[in-house]
Chains A and B, each alone.
Chain A
Amino acid sequence: MTTPAARINRLRIAFLMLAGVVGIVVVALAFLMLGPPVVSPHELIAIARGGGSSFNRIVVIQLWLPRLVLGLLAGAMLGLSGTLLQDTMRNPIAGPELLGVTSGATFVVAVITLLHLPVDLTLVPWLALAGGVAAGTLVVLSVGRISDPIRLVLTGAALAALLNAGIFVLISYGNTNDIALLFLFLVGSLANRTWNYVTMVLPWAIVGIPAALLCGRALNLLQLGDDVAGGLGLPVGRVRLLTLTIGAALVAAVVAIAGPISFIALLAPHLARRLLRTSDSRQVLPLSALLGALLLTAADLLARRAFAPLDLPVGVFTTVIGGPILLLLLRRQLGARAAAT
């Protein structure tokens, strides 16, 4: 039975999704065309058809296209992960970086790389997942009252600081000559990632993204509160474990290929909720996936072009741009919550 309000709502959802897709297409085209080298739309079409100058063709198809795909996938995965975590914990500040999941995954990847452990590349995301889950569990156990945003943030920050210090110790111990390597683990980057990285993350995306999208209904129930959800027949503990694991898995895969990219997972759900004017997870999930993909790809474009010819890590840009946006979004929310504490 569709009331006028529900119809407007549906229109809004449809419009937003469409706008999201259009936005992604626009950014994607800009990504491919702006290079470097700058490719005209005409040439882009020619390349798509199989022609174009050989150099441009190779660069667009072998360098920028995989990086674009990776950015889209990673952005979507991060957006979904953020939504899952925030809705499961009923905490607007929950995000993989603040729950320590990102730090845990990064630490494991750093250990593998800095100590030159002979680990097969396809195995790395699994180990990163283990690290992320361990760290996240530690944070959740330490915090207890998981709905208190400040406590959560502080705990996650503490864990991140701890693991960053650990990375520093590793680098000092390894006596490596390559300080730039450190930045790789402190800040996420998509530079020089080509198709083999896409194949690495693809299985995780194929399984993880649909799994996350299917959690919508369960998340809605969880948001009603543990008792109500339990009363309605939801196995609260198990569902929470499942959603958190999916969220952590999505993040771990991204960290394994790109390092810790912050703020996308925090920001996308907030934006989605704002735009949709609803907290219905079934709607928020797909939109935050779209928004995450859009945001990350736009940030990567900026990272490549802002200080050309230097190709900066995308992680600094997501923070510098995403941070202030999040601040603005949270202002009102923080006021209400802080007054209550």
Chain B
Amino acid sequence: MRRYLYVLILLLVAAPLVAACGSSSSSSSGSSSSSSSASSTSATAATSSPASASPAVTSSPAEVVGTPAPSSSPQTVASPGSGSLSVTDATGTTITLSKPATRVVCLVGECEDIMASLGLKPVAVNDTYSQDPHLWGDAAKSIAKIGGSFMSPNIEDIAKQTPDLVIGIANADEQLRSAMKPIAPLYITNPSSYQDSIKDLENIGQLTGRSAQATAAAKKFTDELASYKAKSPNNVSTVLIYGTAPNFNTFTEGSLTPSVLDQVTPYPIPAPANAPNASDREPGALPGSLEQLLKINPDTLLIASFGGKQMSQQLASQPVWKELKAVKDHRVYEVNPNYYVFGRGTISLGLALQDAMSKLYPSTFGTPTP
């Protein structure tokens, strides 16, 4: 009796293997031949994960989709021949397309920001940042929605959109890399400075064949930054915190938005000693402490509150809060987290810059434009 059981179970297990072999030969991208043998599995796995947890893996592996894939040789770096577009994302993975991407799925606000800068529209998004009036206005309503949650977007919805390119953020979407392989190449961003954000802009511009627009948008931002820098009195310090009370977070100079603010006004929190991890959710951010805020005691305080509740109100009842110089001078400002935290692109950074400057130096820069 037991023998029959074993045979039955063997059959049950063998059947999917056969199915796997069958499906892999008929699937378009060659990367799913992983189940046929252990060696090709490790090869595919090695190319799919940029983890350098094992010291042997050092070079950045290549992801080649769109051209007939080489079978299972590991770490094949695609030679960028003529007509192929190749860039490297925040995790060191190389993404190569044979022709410019037209259907782009955005899993993070920075993607939408970039697409708007390039004059394009994504085919689907998974957040609400796309509805911001500065991007596409009413036209944004026609963009399809990816279900799931921010931390785990629905992959089937993404597949349904048949994208050429998917853009996500480390920490939420890096884990989906192997799942994305049969669908589209995955470009991961995780900017810790505005230069990173501009690099993402240029990379995506290249991948969509819109390098000219990318360069123009980048120039627009850097010009705006330079002009603010020239005019700024540069004597009002500020700190940007975000999240919800009582366990909020503090951005440091090693974070994206302060890298912009730092150019035009003193930002007195240096980046933490250890370099930001590639998958840090908010690079350079530290768990916030009132003691640290008190020690630094900035002239002004910018607060990006999540979830609707204003942190300044929640913290107002705490006596130590009232000791802060910024609170005493009534220079605590609630700001839009879309521009200061979630946007991450040159449009939102520009809006944040405008907003911050008008709040910090109202006599020089006047009231902010809506």
Nearest Cβ distance between residue A336 and chain B, in whole angstroms?
41
Give the residue name and chain of the B residue nearest to A58 (CB). Answer: B323
Contacts of A58 in B (CB 8 A): 294, 320, 323
Q: How far is the CA of A278 from the CA of B236 in the complex (A)?
A: 64
Interface mask (A57-75 → B, CB under 8 Å = 1, otherwise 0):
0110011000000000000
Contact of A179 among B151, B245, B307 (CB under 8 A): B151
Surface stretch bound by B, among A138-146, A193-201, A265-273: A193-201
In chain A between 164 and 188, which residues have their CB closer than 8 angstroms to a CB of chain B?
172-173, 175-181, 184
**Is A52 in the interface zone, CB < 8 Å from B?**
no
Asked whether, in the complex, the Cβ of B292 is within 8 Å of the Cβ of A192, the reply is no
Asked whether, in the complex, the Cβ of A55 is within 8 Å of the Cβ of B281, the reply is no
**A: contact size bracket:** 20 to 34
Q: How far is the CA of A177 from the CA of B320 in the complex (A)?
A: 28
**In the complex where A172-B149, A178-B307 touch, is A55 in contact with B318 (Cβ < 8 A)?**
no
Nearest Cβ distance between residue B337 and chain A, in whole angstroms?
9
Asked whether, in the complex, the Cβ of A178 is within 8 Å of the Cβ of B244, the reply is yes
**Is B308 in the interface zone, CB < 8 Å from A?**
yes
**Is B286 in the interface zone, CB < 8 Å from A?**
yes
Nearest Cβ distance between residue B297 and chain A, in whole angstroms?
8
Contacts of B292 in A (CB 8 A): 309
Q: How far is the CA of A176 from the CA of B308 in the complex (A)?
A: 11
Contacts of B149 in A (CB 8 A): 172-173, 175
**In the complex where A59-B291, A172-B149 touch, is A116 in contact with B320 (Cβ < 8 A)?**
no
Nearest Cβ distance between residue A62 and chain B, in whole angstroms?
4
Interface mask (B267-303 → A, CB under 8 Å = 1, otherwise 0):
0000010000000010000111111101100000000
**Is A36 in the interface zone, CB < 8 Å from B?**
yes
In chain B between 330 and 347, which residues have their CB closer than 8 angstroms to a CB of chain A?
342
Give the residue name and chain of the B residue nearest to A193 (CB). Answer: B246
Interface mask (A184-217 → B, CB under 8 Å = 1, otherwise 0):
1000010111111000000000000000000000
Q: How far is the CA of A176 from the CA of B337 in the complex (A)?
A: 13
**In the complex where A36-B291, A196-B318 touch, is A191 in contact with B281 (Cβ < 8 A)?**
no
Task: Say whether chain A's binding surface is mostly helix, strand, loop, or mixed.
Answer: loop
Contact of A191 among B152, B247, B272, B317 (CB under 8 A): B247
Contacts of B272 in A (CB 8 A): 309
Nearest Cβ distance between residue B111 and chain A, in whole angstroms?
16
Contacts of B152 in A (CB 8 A): 172
Nearest Cβ distance between residue B71 and chain A, in whole angstroms?
39
Contacts of B307 in A (CB 8 A): 116, 176, 178
**In the complex where A116-B307, A178-B307 touch, is A55 in contact with B294 (Cβ < 8 A)?**
yes
Contacts of B168 in A (CB 8 A): none
Interface mask (B28-50 → A, CB under 8 Å = 1, otherwise 0):
00000000000000000000000
**In the complex where A55-B295, A195-B318 touch, is A310 in contact with B323 (Cβ < 8 A)?**
no
Asked whether, in the complex, the Cβ of B323 is within 8 Å of the Cβ of A62, the reply is yes
**In the complex where A63-B291, A180-B247 touch, is A195 in contact with B319 (Cβ < 8 A)?**
yes
Nearest Cβ distance between residue A341 and chain B, in whole angstroms?
32
Nearest Cβ distance between residue A184 and chain B, in whole angstroms?
6
Interface mask (B314-334 → A, CB under 8 Å = 1, otherwise 0):
000111100100000000000
**Is A37 in the interface zone, CB < 8 Å from B?**
yes
Contact of B288 among A37, A62, A192 (CB under 8 A): A192
Nearest Cβ distance between residue B80 and chain A, in whole angstroms?
36
**Is B249 in the interface zone, CB < 8 Å from A?**
yes
Contacts of B290 in A (CB 8 A): 63, 192, 194
Asked whether, in the complex, the Cβ of A184 is within 8 Å of the Cβ of B247, the reply is yes
Nearest Cβ distance between residue B125 and chain A, in whole angstroms?
13
Interface mask (B240-255 → A, CB under 8 Å = 1, otherwise 0):
0001111111000000
**Is A43 in the interface zone, CB < 8 Å from B?**
no
Contacts of B317 in A (CB 8 A): 196
Known: A309-B289, A310-B286. 7 other contacts (CB 8 A): A62-B323, A178-B244, A191-B246, A191-B289, A192-B290, A194-B318, A195-B319
The list of the 3 closest CB pairs from A to B, nearest first, reads A62-B320, A192-B246, A194-B318
Cβ contacts A to B, 25 pairs, < 8 Å: A37-B295, A55-B295, A58-B320, A59-B320, A63-B294, A175-B149, A176-B306, A176-B307, A177-B342, A178-B307, A179-B151, A180-B243, A180-B247, A180-B287, A189-B247, A191-B287, A192-B247, A192-B289, A194-B290, A196-B317, A196-B318, A309-B286, A309-B292, A310-B286, A310-B287
